[in-house]
C-alpha cells in the first residue's frame, strides 16, 4: 500500500463504497480560531493512504467535505474532538458519523490513564509508532518524507484499534455508552468552536 499526496482535495474516486475511513489532520498549532488546518490524512480499511494538502486561501475541497459529512461513512479518529472542530471552522462542515479511539480507550481501559495514540497502539497492537514529526511545520509547501511517513502512521492503525476496543467495550458492557458519546462528539466540538471549550456544561458549578 502506498501513501499518495494530493493538492487541494481528494480525487473524486477515492473511498467509493467504503463504509469507514480513518481520519487525522495536522495544523499549525493547537489553538482553535488561530491556527490553520494544513493537512488531512485518510485511510480506508485497506488500500492506499491519502494525504490532502489543503489550499489555505480557499479551503475548497468538495470531495473531502462530501466524505466527512457522508452519513454512510463512519469516520474514525483518535481525539476527534480537535479535528472535528478544525473541520467545522475551516471546511465549514459538521463531521459525522464518527468513532473516537481515545474515548473508546478511556471507557474500556480504566486500568490506565495512558490514552495517547502511541500508548494505545503499543499495548493493543504491539506496534510502535513514532511521534517525532508531531511538532513540525505542516504549513510547508512541500512535506518532507519524514512528515509524510508520520502523517500516514497516524491513520494506519485506527481500524485495528477500533476492532480491539470494541471487543473490550463489549466485554465491559459499555458499547452503548461509547456510541452515545460518539453521537454527541460533533456537538461537543461545536461547543468548543462556540466558546464553551473550557466550560463543562454538565458540571454543577
Return the number of the residue (40 or 96) whose C-beta is nearest Mn ion.
Answer: 40
Binding string, residues 9-28; x marks residues near Mn ion by CB under 5 A: ---------------x----
**In the complex, minimum distance from the CB of residue 105 to Mn ion, in angstroms, rounded to a whole number:** 16
Residue from the set 44, 154, 164, 175 that interacts with Mn ion by CB under 5 A:
154
**In the complex, minimum distance from the CB of residue 67 to Mn ion, in angstroms, rounded to a whole number:** 18
CB atoms within 10 A of CB 31: 9
Q: Longest C-alpha distance within the chain, in Å?
A: 51
Size of the site for Mn ion (CB under 5 A): 2
DSSP 35: S
Give the DSSP H/E element, type plus range, for residue 62.
Answer: helix 62-69
**In the complex, minimum distance from the CB of residue 78 to Mn ion, in angstroms, rounded to a whole number:** 8
83 interacts with Mn ion by CB under 5 A: no
Chain position carrying cell 466550560 = 199
Query: Interior CA angle at 61 toward 4 and 67, to 5°?
Result: 75
DSSP 36: P
Return the number of the residue (12 or 30) whose C-beta is nearest Mn ion.
Answer: 30
Binding site for Mn ion (CB under 5 A): 24, 154
Amino acid at each position: 500500500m502506498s501513501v499518495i499526496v494530493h493538492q487541494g482535495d481528494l480525487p473524486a474516486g477515492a473511498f467509493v463504497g467504503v463504509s469507514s475511513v480513518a481520519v487525522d489532520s495536522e495544523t499549525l498549532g493547537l489553538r482553535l480560531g488561530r491556527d490553520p488546518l494544513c493537512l488531512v490524512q485518510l485511510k480506508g480499511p485497506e488500500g492506499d493512504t491519502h494525504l490532502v494538502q489543503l489550499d489555505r486561501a480557499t479551503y475548497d475541497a468538495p470531495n473531502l467535505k462530501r466524505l466527512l459529512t457522508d452519513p454512510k461513512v463512519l469516520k474514525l479518529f483518535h481525539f476527534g474532538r480537535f479535528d472535528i472542530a478544525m473541520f467545522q471552522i475551516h471546511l465549514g462542515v459538521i463531521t459525522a458519523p464518527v468513532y473516537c479511539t481515545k474515548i473508546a480507550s478511556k471507557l474500556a481501559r480504566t486500568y490506565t490513564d495512558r490514552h495517547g495514540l502511541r500508548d494505545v497502539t503499543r499495548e493493543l497492537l504491539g506496534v510502535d509508532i513514532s511521534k517525532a514529526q508531531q511538532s513540525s511545520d505542516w504549513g510547508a509547501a512541500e512535506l518532507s518524507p519524514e512528515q509524510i511517513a508520520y502523517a500516514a502512521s497516524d491513520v494506519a492503525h485506527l481500524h485495528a484499534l477500533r476492532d480491539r476496543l470494541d471487543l473490550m467495550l463489549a466485554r465491559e458492557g459499555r458499547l452503548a455508552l461509547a456510541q452515545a458519546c460518539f453521537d454527541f462528539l460533533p456537538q461537543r466540538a461545536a461547543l468548543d468552536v462556540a466558546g464553551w471549550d473550557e466550560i463543562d456544561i454538565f458540571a454543577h458549578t
